[in-house]
């Protein structure tokens, strides 16, 4: 039965794995640290992490926080990471949970959300523009960000995922049945997370019955897709990490040919989450244009097509409320000094306001620039300065998220964020990616 289940799963691009977790005598609070691409401008955060984990096994020694990427000791850090991975394997830090999934229960300020740790088949993933692959990027992939990550991964013996992947499961077929019976599953970790990360539990999913639940649920989602554009898995966080894994696998295929198809590098460990999980919070990332006048912006916008209207409003709150209301057109707010406007575009060719604004960004006049801002209040503060314009974008709709990717392709970079920095995935599980 298990072999049939594996085949069923793999036909949908997903697989169980031999998952590694630290032994029970390891301090899980100090083991798990937040994703390396968080707090990139706050070295104090990562310096604190190093102090907390200095004398114990920890994922802090197995990852490269991006705040250090420009430091002169980059190569030495990479060597230390690879050596620590090999050392942890040698001294027996890990227990192995073979041929399994793990159900993750994560409690943060946004509530309790659930995910499934599984491996995805990189043969069914592409980050190329216009991709129609089963596994797909949700934001534009910046190719220059891949080589530095490849340096870290190419000699690594382990992968530790901070990748979060979304499924469009309104009927709650895949993860939620496991959540309903989690009291019957073996809880294999249960710990607070350092520095405001909340709490996390992990439940072993290893029986044929429970794996069949996942396989049947994923198969139902897969069969319902338009097979000419079958988007089943959409990137939530960690797009460039998955792209790096794909790039290394493609290099291996060039070197090894068909032999690479059986390599552990063909798969990448991720956490899959249902986009309809109530505790999964989507937040828009706003824009600020620098050194540009409002008439110039309006002129850029007018070249994008569609029918545009512009109405003055009294405050950021009124503007935010207005763009949140669904009226069948693209909407966004503009702040210029002390003035607030709501823009509407009917008959737009784009599915998202962020895509419309990106076209303006791509055509900014020389001397103008853009920055991407978390939080409407911060955007407002910057936009009040002379020569600046703030763009307040509406939150992404969960109901239309997958349809928008199918229609427009990957969103512009920094379109959305899932939760606050402390709510991002913490490194916990590991998987061997070196074939012995």
Mean of the per-residue pLDDT values for the chain? 93
Measured over the CA atoms of residue 166, residue 170, residue 173 and residue 175, the dihedral's sign is positive
Is the pLDDT score of 11 beyond 60?
yes
pLDDT for 435: 66
The CATH code for residues 283-397 is: 3.30.1760
- Report the range of poorest mean pLDDT among 4-8, 29-33, 373-377: 373-377
pTM for the model: 0.87
Task: Compute the half-sphere exposure of residue 368: CA atoms within 13 Å on the CB side of its CA.
Answer: 20
Domain boundaries along the sequence of the chain: 2-280+420-432, 283-397
316 has a pLDDT exceeding 70: yes
Instruction: Classify each residue of 313-351 as buried b or exposed e, where b means 16 or more C-beta atoms within 10 Å of its C-beta.
Output: beebeebbebbeeeeebbbbbbbbeeebbbbbbeebebb
Indicate if the pLDDT at residue 342 is higher than 80: yes
CA 238-324-332 angle, to 5 degrees, is 80
Q: How confident is the model at residue 326 (pLDDT cuts 50, 70, 90)?
A: low
Query: For the segment 167-218, what is each residue's pLDDT rounded down to a tens digit?
Result: 999 999 999 999 999 999 999 999 999 999 999 999 999 999 999 999 999 9
Q: Specify the pLDDT at position 436.
A: 56
Report the alpha-carbon distance of residue 332 to residue 288 in Å, rounded.
13
**What's residue 369's pLDDT?**
93
pLDDT bucket at 404, cuts 50 / 70 / 90: confident
Phi, psi of 254 (to 5 degrees): -65, -35
């Amino acid at each position: 039965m298990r072999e049939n289940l594996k085949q069923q799963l793999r036909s949908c691009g997903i697989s169980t794995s031999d998952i590694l977790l630290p032994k029970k005598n390891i301090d899980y609070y100090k083991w798990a640290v937040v994703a390396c691409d968080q707090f990139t401008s706050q070295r104090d955060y990562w310096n604190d992490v190093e102090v907390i984990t200095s004398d114990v096994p920890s994922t802090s020694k197995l990852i490269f926080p991006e705040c250090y990427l420009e430091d002169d000791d980059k190569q030495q850090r990479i060597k230390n990471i690879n050596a620590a991975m090999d050392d942890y394997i040698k001294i027996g830090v890990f227990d192995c949970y073979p041929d399994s999934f793990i159900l993750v229960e994560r409690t943060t300020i946004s509530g309790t959300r659930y995910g499934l740790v599984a491996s995805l088949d990189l043969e069914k993933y592409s980050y190329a523009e216009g991709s129609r692959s089963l596994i797909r990027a949700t934001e534009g992939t910046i190719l220059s960000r891949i080589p530095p990550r490849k340096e870290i991964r190419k000699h690594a013996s382990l992968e530790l995922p901070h990748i979060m992947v979304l499924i469009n499961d309104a009927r709650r077929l895949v993860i939620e049945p496991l959540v309903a019976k989690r009291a019957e599953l073996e809880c294999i970790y249960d710990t607070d997370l350092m520095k405001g990360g909340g709490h996390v539990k992990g439940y072993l999913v290893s029986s044929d019955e429970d794996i069949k639940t996942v396989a049947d649920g994923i198969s139902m989602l897969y069969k319902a897709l338009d097979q000419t554009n079958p988007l089943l898995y959409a990137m939530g966080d960690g797009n460039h990490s998955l792209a790096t894994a794909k790039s290394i696998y493609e290099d291996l295929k060039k070197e090894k040919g068909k032999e690479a198809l059986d390599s552990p590098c063909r798969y990448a460990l991720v956490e899959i989450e249902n986009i309809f999980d109530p505790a999964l919070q989507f937040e828009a990332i706003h824009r600020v244009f620098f050194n540009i006048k409002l008439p110039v912006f309006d002129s850029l916008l007018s070249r994008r097509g569609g029918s545009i209207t512009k109405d003055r409003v009294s405050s950021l709150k009124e503007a935010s409320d207005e763009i949140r209301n669904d009226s069948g057109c693209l909407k966004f707010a503009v702040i210029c000094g002390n003035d607030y406007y709501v823009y509407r575009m009917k008959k737009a060719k784009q599915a998202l306001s962020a895509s419309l604004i990106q076209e303006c960004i791509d055509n900014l006049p020389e001397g103008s620039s853009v920055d991407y801002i978390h939080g409407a209040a911060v955007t407002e503060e910057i936009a009040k300065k002379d020569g600046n314009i703030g763009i307040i974008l509406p939150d992404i709709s969960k109901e239309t998220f997958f349809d928008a990717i199918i229609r427009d392709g990957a969103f512009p970079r920094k379109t959305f964020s899932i939760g606050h920095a402390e709510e991002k995935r913490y490194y916990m599980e590991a998987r061997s990616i070196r074939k012995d």
